[in-house]
Amino acid sequence: MKKGNLKELKDTEVIQQLKDARKELREQRFQFAVAKSLENPRKIRNLRKKIARLLTIQNERKSLNQQ
């Protein structure tokens, strides 16, 4: 998902996307540790970036709600 699309998500959807991304990252890291190979080695990097984007959106919303 692109950054613009992520900002349109509801809070519950952001949380669910975050859980799913973390789970997939954990699985990819495990697969890499066991097999020392991935189908797409950039997948781990892309998942980390997605998680960072989701956390940024979540923190922005929290700061807006506190004001």
Lowest mean pLDDT among 2-6, 10-14, 46-50, 60-64: 2-6
pLDDT > 80? residue 53 = yes
| Cβ neighbours of residue 29 closer than 8 Å, sequence gap 6 or more | 44
pLDDT > 80? residue 6 = no
Q: What count of residues does the chain have?
A: 67
Q: Taking the complete model, does pTM exceed 0.75, yes or no?
A: yes
| Both tokens assigned to 7 | 């900002």
Q: Which domains does the chain have, with CATH numbers?
A: 3-66 (1.10.287)
pLDDT digits (tens, 9 = 90+) for 10-40: 888 989 999 999 999 999 999 888 887 767 7
Q: What is d(CA 18, CA 53) in angstroms, rounded to the nearest whole number?
A: 9
